[in-house]
Amino acid sequence: MKEKGLAIITGADGGMGQVITTALAKEGFPIIMACQNPEKAIPICNHIRITSKNSRIEIRKIDLASLSSVSAFAEQLLKDGQPVSLLINNAGILTTKVRRTEDGLETIVSVNYVAPYLLTRKILPLMEPGARIVNTVSCTYAIGKIEPEFFEKGKSGHFSRIPVYGNTKLALLLFTQELAVQIKDRGIIVNATDPGIVSTNMITMHAWFDPLTDILFRPFIKTPSQGAATAIYLALSDQVKEKNGCCFANCKEKNVSKRIRHHVAQKELWDSTEEILRQKGFRI
């Protein structure tokens, strides 16, 4: 039997990330937990090692708000040369104020879109036919727009976190679709997962209404295990071997609108992202 390649999960110490990591560990994959705070991840990693009976789990630091951190993470993987079987771009943020990264990008845009783009593109040489990429989007992609100020401000006009978040998730879905086109002859499977609204720390906005949200709303949304189920399905199921560039929810393919399936900005976004990364000194 062929040895399993690496499974890399960003945000592996988060709510859904822990569930995904545990599931893949139980399948016997050697795993890299890609986390912003490795110290926080240590007890989580130890627990997963015990419950999965898989000792081949390590933690590596990655800060998706820093393209140099993402590039260094990827360069180390390339230096190591170990094949990658699974890349789960799971990490994401939803902040309440506009913030610029050291690279001049809006922070939500960097974490949710540009960093996953850069990481994926850089480690593609480590992926062989049959390898899989799973990108975590959101139902908010339906309200997303790719506007001229997308990279620097998240959206044109006044900053508003939900529209900016939706814009980044649309961008990640368009990346998923375009990547499927670009690598169609390589036998690598790339799809997106829409986990729905999940009870994680992301929906805590540090606002006055949070206690009311916890009482009235949180009991009716998905648990991290329910939210992670589709990502795990896309990573492991034989039923998606022939699917590429698709979006799934509740372990079923979604009927993505024609506007998004044939989005006018899809190739332009790919080219713009490549150009911005080149300008900032990051080669792919």
- Could you list the active site residues? 165
**Could you tell me which of 229, 118, 107, 87 has the C-alpha nearest to residue 168?**
107
Q: Report helix, strand or coil for 173.
A: helix
Based on its alpha-carbon atoms, the radius of gyration of the chain, rounded to whole angstroms, reads 18
CA distance 244 to 260: 15
DSSP symbols for 11-72: TTTSHHHHHHHHHHHHTT--EEEEES-HHHHHHHHHHHHHHHT---EEEEE--TT-HHHHHH
Handedness of CA 229, 235, 241, 247 (dihedral sign): positive
Q: Report helix, strand or coil for 23.
A: helix
Count CB atoms within 10 A of the CB of residue 29.
24
- 192-223 burial code (b ≥16 CB/10 A, e <16): bbbbebbbbebeeeeeeeeeeeeeeeeeeebe
Terminal-to-terminal C-alpha distance of the chain: 32
